[in-house]
């Protein structure tokens, strides 16, 4: 695979991406999401774009990135951090779902998140190499958002790279949700490339007469334009549900709605952690530490917050390896929950 021509964001003068949507596409997205949430999402995207391209271009964060890069080069940490960033592992996790039909016992989902494809030109090849080692080992692929890094300027590169990934390295039907770095305007291109975006929607996966509902919500964290009730509206009584969400902010709501399994990302496992693997408390998260990474459960709802495959802002990682996750679903009775505690012996991680 050749490297992308450039990983630089296009100039703001390239225009606001929403101009790419045709009238028909706008009408279709509005219908799928509901007029209120559709308008709200676009309004918040535009507000964010204006901030990033306007006065906020003088924001200290804009200056911190090059300073951090220079500091890492000077201290010799840049090479190691970037090596870690490109060393994408395969993790395998098994979840026992009490209501899982027999036909879905052993069903496997490839969970990918936070690719931030336009951050570094070497990332697409690194991810492709990892995915080739697990080709054919999963039944569906699930993307939990943040395809972009340079969100607001122009998402053409990230969408093009996602399309290539789907075409050349994903060996199963693909579904996904958007993250806080993505735009509604990306949806027509992503769907044309074969990635069905679940915009507070669901699809029914079938095996013989048995079914599993795969639902997805819009970003519940930054944009907060999610609607879990709408996403679950097609659920049949007793039907198991796997929910895709960009961030684990929906953990309590998902438990209230008796979702069986939540797959999410957003946190990157901390991206830069301490040598003992603990996260650096450099920001206030809107959700508890227990759901920020790895396996978690709330009531009868289980969840997995992936460390993500890519990185945001700066292409480095420390003590927190990037991952592609194979989620294995198994039939399990009530005993598997053991009063709300997860079954043991689920996870393992291996070098790809």
Interface residue list for Fe ion (CB under 5 A): 114, 146, 312
CA-nearest of 131, 80, 127 to 326 is: 131
Quote the least distance from Cβ 150 to Fe ion, whole Å: 12
Gap between the terminal Cα atoms of the chain: 18
Nearer to Fe ion, 21 or 126 (CB): 126
The 3-state DSSP class for residue 30 equals helix
Nearer to Fe ion, 130 or 221 (CB): 221
Enter the tokens of residue 288.
């508890």
Residues in the chain: 352
Residue 76: Cβ-neighbour burial (10 angstroms; 0-12, 13-18, 19+): exposed
Nearer to Fe ion, 91 or 202 (CB): 91
Quote the least distance from Cβ 309 to Fe ion, whole Å: 10
Nearer to Fe ion, 114 or 201 (CB): 114
Report how far residue 265's alpha carbon sits from residue 261's, in angstroms, rounded to the nearest whole number: 13
Quote the least distance from Cβ 165 to Fe ion, whole Å: 16
The H-assigned helical ranges of the chain are 23-33, 35-53, 60-74, 78-86, 123-132, 156-169, 187-192, 228-231, 251-256
Nearer to Fe ion, 113 or 227 (CB): 113
Quote the least distance from Cβ 233 to Fe ion, whole Å: 28
Quote the least distance from Cβ 111 to Fe ion, whole Å: 14
């Amino acid at each position: 695979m050749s490297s992308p021509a450039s990983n630089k964001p296009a100039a703001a003068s390239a225009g606001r991406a929403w101009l790419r949507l045709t009238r028909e596409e706008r009408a279709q997205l509005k219908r799928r999401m509901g007029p209120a949430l559709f308008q709200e999402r676009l309004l918040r995207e535009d507000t964010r774009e204006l901030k990033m391209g306007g006065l906020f271009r003088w924001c200290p964060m804009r200056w911190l990135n090059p300073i951090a890069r220079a500091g890492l080069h000077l201290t010799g940490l840049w090479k190691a951090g970037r090596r870690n960033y490109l060393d994408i592992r395969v993790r395998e996790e098994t979840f026992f779902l009490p209501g899982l039909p027999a036909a879905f016992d052993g069903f496997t989902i490839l969970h990918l998140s936070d690719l931030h494809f336009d951050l570094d030109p070497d990332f697409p090849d690194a991810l492709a190499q990892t995915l080739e080692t697990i080709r054919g080992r999963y039944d569906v692929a699930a993307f939990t958002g943040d395809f972009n890094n340079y969100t607001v300027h122009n998402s053409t590169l990230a969408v093009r790279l996602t399309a290539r990934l789907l075409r050349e390295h994903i060996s199963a039907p693909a579904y996904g949700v958007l993250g806080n770095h993505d735009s509604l305007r990306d949806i027509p291109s992503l769907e044309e490339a074969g990635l069905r975006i679940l915009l507070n929607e669901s699809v029914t996966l079938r095996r013989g007469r048995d079914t599993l509902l795969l639902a997805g919500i819009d970003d519940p964290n930054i944009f907060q334009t999610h609607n879990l009730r709408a996403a679950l509206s097609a659920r049949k009584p007793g039907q198991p549900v796997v929910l895709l969400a960009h961030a684990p902010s929906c953990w309590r709501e998902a438990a209230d709605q008796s979702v069986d399994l939540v797959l999410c990302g957003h946190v990157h496992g901390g991206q830069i952690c301490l040598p003992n693997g603990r996260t650096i408390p450099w920001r206030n998260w809107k959700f508890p530490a227990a759901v920020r990474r790895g396996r978690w459960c709330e009531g009868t709802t289980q969840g997995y917050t992936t460390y993500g495959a890519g990185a945001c802002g700066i292409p480095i990682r420390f003590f927190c390896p990037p991952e592609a996750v194979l989620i294995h679903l198994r039939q399990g009775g009530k005993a598997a929950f053991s009063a709300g505690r997860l079954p043991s012996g689920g996870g393992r991680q291996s070098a790809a």
